[in-house]
Structure 1
């Protein structure tokens, strides 16, 4: 069973979720690691990586890993080489892209369609490389549209240039870009009300933490089902 720890909060889980398996994949940026949560009868793979400030224990990644295998979606939680090596600071975007490209053959080895995804910096990597690598779609969780307080430094071109069906799931109070700040484009945008960059919601919010994660999972699940 996939569970979150005290640092990330709890989310939707399935008591019958399959036990994860791990795979180490060498890349030109160092060894990456994939944690697989397999669906019994998979029809697609969702590969999601972490951001620059955390790992695959993030509450949104864990919630998706708990829920989606029951819907025929094998989830691959990807740890970039810098995390596997125990470093605390993420490298430059170019190096992140190198790691992602290097592990892609392992993600695509089953022959199933692969959705490229990630949260924050991982979402940017998926947008930059998804079409090139042959992904079927892109999932961007907490896309960092701009640095906090600097909307003029937009990264919208990365999202608009993804060239694939894309879903952005954004917290309503994300300092890296609130939903209303996103440019119009060929992608779907779903909001988790009151959520911050990690989809945490304030205790005073009318939406509880578990409900917020259910909103996120529901948006992702419905979008993936429509790709079938």
Structure 2
């Protein structure tokens, strides 16, 4: 199973989360899109990271049944939550979509330690134009798979050499291949 949380600026309707939820079940991977309680309550602003982590921990027992391997994942803030909590919750790996390596224009405020500190296999998928961290900014060992022309939401401009459909295929194909490489039963 792949459990995916959303970012601080949106919900589970994000294009990358929806694309994975549509594609991966055809490959035998169950996908759970997890809406954080603050969104369910209708709030527009995410709480502090500690509260996001607590909510994810509270939801985890409903996702991880006995003997069921779960990959923790998310986009943006959801990816950070997955990285910070995956090992303690017993996840087998982490999927980080649009990982916010640093605030836009603030590369000195790196969050690379969250990626490196999981102690688990990690796949990072990042837009080539992501202001929160372009692929070439990631340190060795955390190098992401690039979605050419993609921004933080994996949107690609019309003038890009990649269509929106192709960009989403990069994500779904890459994640599907990686999950198969992790082993059966995911």
TM norm. shorter chain > 0.5 = yes
Deviates more, 1:106-115 or 1:131-140: 106-115
1:20 corresponds to which residue? none
Decide which structure has greater helix share: 2
> What's the Cα RMSD here?
0.8
Q: Say yes or no: does 1:167 pair with 2:123.
A: yes
The answer on whether the counterparts of 2:70 and 2:93 sit within 8 Å (CA) in structure 1 is yes
1:225 corresponds to which residue? 180
Q: Say yes or no: does 1:212 pair with 2:167.
A: yes
Of the two, which has the highest radius of gyration?
1
CA distance, structure 2, for counterparts of residue 218 and residue 189 of structure 1: 14
Q: 2:74 aligns with which of 113, 118, 121?
A: 118
Instruction: Could you list the structure 1 runs, at least 4 aligned residues long, displaced by more than 6 angstroms after superposition.
Output: none
Q: Say yes or no: does 1:66 pair with 2:66.
A: no
Q: Deviations over 1:26-52 (max 9, x none)?
A: xxxxxxxxxxxxxxxxxxx00001000
Question: What TM-score does the superposition give when structure 2 sets the normalisation length?
Answer: 0.97
The answer on whether the counterparts of 1:166 and 1:188 sit within 8 Å (CA) in structure 2 is no
Question: What TM-score does the superposition give when structure 1 sets the normalisation length?
Answer: 0.79
Structure 1: which 5+ runs fail to align? 1-44
2:114 corresponds to which residue? 158
Q: Say yes or no: does 1:195 pair with 2:116.
A: no
Q: Say yes or no: does 1:179 pair with 2:135.
A: yes
Q: How many pairs does the alignment contain?
A: 183
What does residue range 74-89 of structure 1 map to in structure 2 within 5 Å? 74-89=30-45
Decide which structure has greater strand share: 1
CA distance, structure 1, for counterparts of residue 90 and residue 40 of structure 2: 25
CA positional deviation for 1:111: 3.0
